[in-house]
């Protein structure tokens, strides 16, 4: 079963499409990185999948169920980028409310996790730091024992050490419980550490969606003469080319460097930034890894 | 929703809105206690001075005790009871404004609703599970407050300088049923404004703008219209056979010709009886007897509850088509 499937999904706010013509298939059991610039539609897509907002067009399923359906609500946890919590409550009250709301709730997990983080249950939620609030929200999202976790920039307010800790914890949950995670972030290096599947959104459309390995295996960073870039377009599929003096750095979809060009494997950050620089370039799902302009 | 779901949602609402769930009963029960205490003091005064028998309409002519200084002193006209009566009636509106509107609107404004919606709870369950305990609590405590207000007004109305008449507006509204009905309507409109606008302050303004005309229409149109339904009609003489002015509500009087036609106006003659006899006309009255009062109260409050139910349904419908945009 796929964790996420969307067909022609769209969401319009007045005259502006936040997400449009979104066809996406994300397999279960993966950590999926959702990358894209500000206003790309990441939050809207995650809110639709979490059942927080209704799509204007198309369909979506999460773990085979419609977002917002009882089946989906029972198995999907989500943390919005606003970290929604009842800030006037104490941590214990927030946990008690969450326990009352859920059929399935792992009190032991929640208490142990908060204890390990040094978050006192007597503390008022509003008085916690931004990072602690994010940790509390994440703890409550996982204490529900979900099968799919949707995270909208959850680490933005955490210090680097706490970020590493959260990422490690998420990886443990994925490995031990078979949890699927969709993780949106601006910090691509952070996504690179844990993601096995990559989705790039640009201007509300899916620009790329494939496993990280397949994308990294099929792309190379090529370095060569700037005046050779035009010829290179006839030899390989170029995503983006940057000229600096007489040298050019090209992100290309190719398995081997053409003669006269030095090739090296790309990092995920280079790959994502390369595609974001060229919004017309797309890796079309269902047709293999193919660049269309 | 199953009983277990209701129980769990109530528990969750208790955790989230503990302060309000204690505050709302306090807002109604503390004034109820004050009214009850004041009424006990007044009743004690009447009892000590043997004035209980004077508590019937036109009692000042009913006996020597009702002419005593103690009774005169007790019935000294004062604006206070009327002012308090208006304040009593304002409380359901204030409860809706300051407790009902923020109850849901604040969750939207702070984004906290997303917490509940991502904790296995649907928007509809969240809405009804949040609103249900509030409205139930408010209605029950408002009913108790209404009972205290009713009990207080039975005595206090003797001091407001107007005649004692159970059909007048203040008497009609100062009952447990009316106060609970207005409270439920206020809470339902507060819910609707909160769901539609999703910002506390604009929703409060919208609440006032919505409830104000409801109160105005209820007083100026609905109550008079209801009082005209199901009247008792009977023929009366010019001076005899008229229903009691203190216990009944006269809707209409008219003259009727032997042919059954209504005469639009009374004759401008000094001896109406003679004029009627001469023309063989009869005089008639349509009125509400005292025992109709409770049914009309039930009907009016049924309309309030129905309007409240529509407001709740509209809120659910709006939330379904606009969950969190």
Residue-wise pLDDT for A50-73, tens only, equals: 998 889 999 999 999 999 899 999
Kindly report the CATH class assigned to A214-292.
alpha beta
Alpha-carbon distance B264 to A71, whole Å?
70
Q: Is the pTM of this model over 0.90?
A: no
Alpha-carbon distance A100 to B111, whole Å?
20
CA dist A146 to A46, A82, A154, A171, B203, Å?
A: 16, 20, 17, 14, 36
Alpha-carbon distance B51 to B155, whole Å?
11
**pLDDT (tens digit per residue) in B15-64:** 888 888 899 999 999 999 999 999 999 889 888 888 877 777 554 455 66
Across residues A1-26, what is the average pLDDT?
92
Residue scoring higher pLDDT (B158 or A217): A217
CB contact under 8 A, B120 and A86: no
Q: How far is A174 from chain B (nearest CA, A)?
A: 20
Residue with tokens 């001076």: B239
pLDDT for res A288: 46
Using a CB-CB cut-off of 8 Å, the residues of chain B touching A100 are 8-9, 11-12, 15
Residue A285 pLDDT grade (very low, low, confident, very high; cuts 50, 70, 90): low
User: Does residue A73 belong to the interface with chain B, where contact is any CB pair within 8 Å?
Assistant: yes
Residue A198 pLDDT grade (very low, low, confident, very high; cuts 50, 70, 90): very high
Q: How far is CA A29 from the centre of its chain?
A: 14
Nearest-Cα residue of chain B relative to residue A88: B16
Nearest-Cα residue of chain A relative to residue B324: A53
pLDDT for res B282: 85
Residue A181: exposed, middle, or buried by beta-carbon count in 10 A (0-12, 13-18, 19+)? buried
Do B155 and B43 touch, CB atoms closer than 8 A? yes
Residue B68 pLDDT grade (very low, low, confident, very high; cuts 50, 70, 90): confident
Do A226 and A261 touch, CB atoms closer than 8 A? no
CB contact under 8 A, B122 and A97: no
**pLDDT (tens digit per residue) in B105-143:** 999 998 889 888 888 888 888 898 888 888 999 999 999
Using a CB-CB cut-off of 8 Å, the residues of chain A touching B120 are 73-74, 101-104, 144
**Which of A146, A149, A144 has the alpha carbon at shortest distance from A167?**
A149
Residue A230: exposed, middle, or buried by beta-carbon count in 10 A (0-12, 13-18, 19+)? exposed
CB contact under 8 A, A52 and B323: yes
Using a CB-CB cut-off of 8 Å, the residues of chain A touching B317 are none
Among A69, A84, A137, A182, the strongest candidate for a mutation testing the B interface, having the largest count of B CBs within 10 A, is A84
Using a CB-CB cut-off of 8 Å, the residues of chain A touching B16 are 86, 89, 97
Using a CB-CB cut-off of 8 Å, the residues of chain A touching B112 are 84-87
Do A2 and A28 touch, CB atoms closer than 8 A? yes
Alpha-carbon distance B281 to B296, whole Å?
32
Q: Would you state the structure tokens that stand for residue B194, as one six-digit string?
A: 């909160």
First-last CA distance in chain B: 25
Using a CB-CB cut-off of 8 Å, the residues of chain A touching B110 are 84, 87
CB contact under 8 A, A85 and B115: yes
**pLDDT (tens digit per residue) in B262-305:** 876 777 777 777 777 788 888 888 888 888 888 999 999 999 99
- Domain residue ranges of chain A, discontinuous segments joined by +: 2-86+139-203, 214-292
**Fold topology of A2-86+139-203:** Rossmann fold (3.40.50)
CB contact under 8 A, B113 and A84: yes
Residue pairs spanning A and B at CB distance below 8 A: 85
User: Does residue A141 belong to the interface with chain B, where contact is any CB pair within 8 Å?
Assistant: yes
Alpha-carbon distance B66 to B60, whole Å?
5
Residues 122-181 of B with CB under 8 A from A: 122-123
Q: How far is A214 from chain B (nearest CA, A)?
A: 33
Across residues A166-188, what is the average pLDDT?
86
Across residues A70-82, what is the average pLDDT?
90
CA atoms B29, B183, B139, B204: torsion sign: negative
Residue scoring higher pLDDT (A4 or A230): A4
User: Does residue A66 belong to the interface with chain B, where contact is any CB pair within 8 Å?
Assistant: no
């Amino acid at each position: 079963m796929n964790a996420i499937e969307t067909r022609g999904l769209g969401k319009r706010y007045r005259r502006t499409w936040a997400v449009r013509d979104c066809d996406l298939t994300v397999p279960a059991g993966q950590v999926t990185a959702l990358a894209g610039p500000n206003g790309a539609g990441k939050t809207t897509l995650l809110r639709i999948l979490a059942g927080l907002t209704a799509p204007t067009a198309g369909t979506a399923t999460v773990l085979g169920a419609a977002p917002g359906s009882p089946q989906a609500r029972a198995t999907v946890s989500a943390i919005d980028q606003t970290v929604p919590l009842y800030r006037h409550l104490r941590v214990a009250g927030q946990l008690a409310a969450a326990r009352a709301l859920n059929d399935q709730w792992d009190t032991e997990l929640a208490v142990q996790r908060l204890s390990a983080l040094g978050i006192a249950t007597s503390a008022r939620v509003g008085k916690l730091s931004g990072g602690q609030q994010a940790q509390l929200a994440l703890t409550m999202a996982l204490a529900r024992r979900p099968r799919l976790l949707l995270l909208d920039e959850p680490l933005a307010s955490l210090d680097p050490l706490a970020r590493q800790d959260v990422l490690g914890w998420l990886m443990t949950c994925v490995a031990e419980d078979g949890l699927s995670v969709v993780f949106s972030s601006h910090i691509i290096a952070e996504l690179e550490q844990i993601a096995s599947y990559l989705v790039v959104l640009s201007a509300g459309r899916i620009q790329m969606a494939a496993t990280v390995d397949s994308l990294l295996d099929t792309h190379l960073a090529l370095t060569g003469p700037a005046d050779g870039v035009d010829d290179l377009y006839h030899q390989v599929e170029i995503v983006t080319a940057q000229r600096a003096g007489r040298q050019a750095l090209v992100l290309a979809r190719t398995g081997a460097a053409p003669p006269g060009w030095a090739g090296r494997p790309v990092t995920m950050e280079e790959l994502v930034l390369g595609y974001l620089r060229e919004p017309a370039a797309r890796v079309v799902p269902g047709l293999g890894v193919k660049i269309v302009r | 929703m199953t009983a277990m779901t209701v129980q769990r949602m109530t528990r969750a609402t208790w955790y989230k809105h503990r302060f309000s769930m204690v505050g709302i009963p306090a807002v109604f029960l503390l004034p109820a206690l004050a009214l009850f205490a004041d009424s006990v003091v007044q009743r004690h005064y009447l009892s000590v001075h043997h004035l209980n028998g004077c508590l019937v309409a036109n009692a000042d002519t009913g006996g020597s005790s009702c002419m005593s200084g103690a009774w005169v002193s007790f019935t000294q006209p004062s604006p206070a009871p009327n002012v308090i009566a208006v304040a009593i009636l304002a409380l359901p509106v204030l409860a809706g404004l300051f407790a009902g509107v923020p109850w849901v609107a604040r969750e939207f404004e702070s984004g906290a609703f997303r917490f509940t919606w991502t904790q296995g709870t649907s928007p509809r369950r969240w809405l009804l599970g949040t609103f249900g305990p509030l409205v139930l609590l408010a209605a029950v405590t408002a009913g108790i407050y209404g009972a205290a207000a009713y009990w207080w007004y039975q005595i206090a109305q003797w001091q407001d300088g107007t005649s004692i008449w159970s059909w007048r507006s203040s008497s009609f509204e100062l009952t447990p049923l009316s106060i609970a009905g207005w409270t439920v309507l206020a809470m339902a409109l507060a819910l609707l404004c909160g769901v539609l606008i999703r910002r506390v302050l604009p929703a409060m303004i919208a609440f006032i703008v919505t409830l104000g005309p409801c109160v105005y229409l209820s007083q100026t149109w609905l109550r008079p219209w209801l009082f005209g339904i199901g009247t008792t009609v009977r023929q009366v003489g010019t001076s005899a056979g008229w229903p009691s002015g203190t216990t009944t509500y006269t809707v209409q009087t008219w003259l009727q010709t032997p042919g059954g036609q209504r005469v639009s106006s009374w004759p401008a003659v000094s001896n109406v009886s003679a004029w009627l006899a001469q023309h063989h006309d009869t005089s008639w009255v349509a009125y509400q007897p005292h025992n109709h009062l409770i049914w009309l109260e039930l009907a009016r409050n049924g309309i309030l509850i129905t309007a409240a139910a529509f407001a709740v349904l509209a809120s659910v419908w709006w939330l379904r088509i606009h969950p969190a945009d």
